[in-house]
């Protein structure tokens, strides 16, 4: 009887060892399958987002072309000079690109920025913001209030440098002041609108902007992008935090 029990136990041990070995052989395959499915899902989501960005920006550029024309005329009449303002901004993975806006300031505005740094109203000091910036033209105040100055960034989206939704692209000098945590904002393509754009824009301190951007990055998806785009409309109309 003892010999029989010993034989049964020995068989059980062998069976357990066999199952363990099978599990070891299958685990890499299962893991590889999971990784492949995840990579395909991410790739598919990026393709959908890219298609939405391209088609959405193209349609908006066509529909808003009359507004572009009127804005360009008013800018030139107020302060003859370039209609657009193009600046270097930092995009996906730290790549620089030409960031396009309707010019809302006088032509020599950049030369006077250093004189106004002490009046910076940004609580964190990383970005520069003034509610009553003397460099802004009369038309500039209007187009800023309703974010019309941001519309030319649709060309950036069409080109592929930006997305409709994503963290706002920073200036190179701002990135130099970033912490390691702040730099995570550069892991995704920058956008025209984002979470903090619909929650108060310039009234939100820089560190809170970073937190909201990180929240977006962790939960980004087509559904969330559509929600942010829809909420951008009333945020723009209200003009809250626009300066």
Across 76-80, 108-112, 225-229, least confident range: 108-112
Nearest Cα residue to 202 out of 152, 158, 136, 138: 136
221 has a pLDDT exceeding 70:
yes
132 has a pLDDT exceeding 90:
no
Pairing state between β 191-193 and 163-165: parallel
How far, CA to CA in Å, does 194 sit from each of 75, 211, 231? 27, 12, 10
Note the pLDDT of residue 46. 81
Across 26-35, 39-48, 184-193, 207-216, least confident range: 26-35
136 has a pLDDT exceeding 70:
yes
75 has a pLDDT exceeding 70:
yes
Token pair listed for 151: 């519309």
Q: What digits encode the pLDDT tens for the residues 174-219? A: 888 888 888 888 999 999 999 888 887 777 888 888 888 988 988 8
Most confident segment among 6-15, 108-117, 168-177: 168-177
Note the pLDDT of residue 16. 57
Note the pLDDT of residue 182. 83
| pTM: predicted TM-score of the whole model, two decimal places | 0.77
121 has a pLDDT exceeding 70:
no
Token pair listed for 14: 């062998």
43 has a pLDDT exceeding 80:
no
Domain ranges of the chain: 50-238
What gap in Å lies between CA 83 and CA 75, rounded to an integer?
A: 6
Note the pLDDT of residue 8. 45
Q: Phi and psi of 164, rounded to 5°?
A: -65, -35
Note the pLDDT of residue 4. 35
């Amino acid at each position: 009887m003892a010999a029989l029990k010993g034989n049964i136990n020995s068989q059980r041990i062998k069976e357990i060892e066999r199952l363990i070995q099978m599990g070891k052989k299958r685990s890499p395959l299962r893991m590889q399958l999971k990784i492949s499915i995840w990579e395909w899902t991410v790739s598919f989501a990026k393709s959908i987002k890219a298609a939405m960005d391209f088609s959405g920006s193209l349609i908006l550029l066509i529909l808003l072309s009359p507004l572009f024309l009127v804005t360009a005329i008013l800018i030139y009449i107020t302060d003859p000079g370039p209609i657009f303002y193009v600046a270097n901004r930092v995009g996906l993975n730290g790549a620089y690109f030409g960031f396009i806006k309707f010019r809302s300031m006088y032509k020599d505005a950049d030369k006077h920025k250093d004189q106004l740094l002490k009046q910076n109203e940004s609580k964190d000091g990383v970005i520069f913001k003034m509610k009553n910036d003397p460099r802004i033209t009369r038309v500039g105040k209007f187009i800023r209030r309703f974010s019309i100055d941001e519309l030319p960034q649709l060309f950036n989206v069409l080109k592929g440098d930006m997305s409709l939704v994503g963290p706002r692209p920073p200036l190179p000098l701002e990135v130099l002041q970033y912490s390691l945590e702040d730099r995570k904002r550069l892991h995704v393509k920058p956008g025209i609108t984002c979470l903090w754009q619909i929650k108060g824009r310039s009234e939100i301190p820089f560190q809170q902007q970073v937190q909201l951007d990180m929240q977006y990055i962790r939960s980004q998806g087509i559904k969330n992008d559509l929600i942010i785009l829809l909420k951008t409309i009333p945020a723009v109309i209200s003009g809250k935090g626009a300066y």
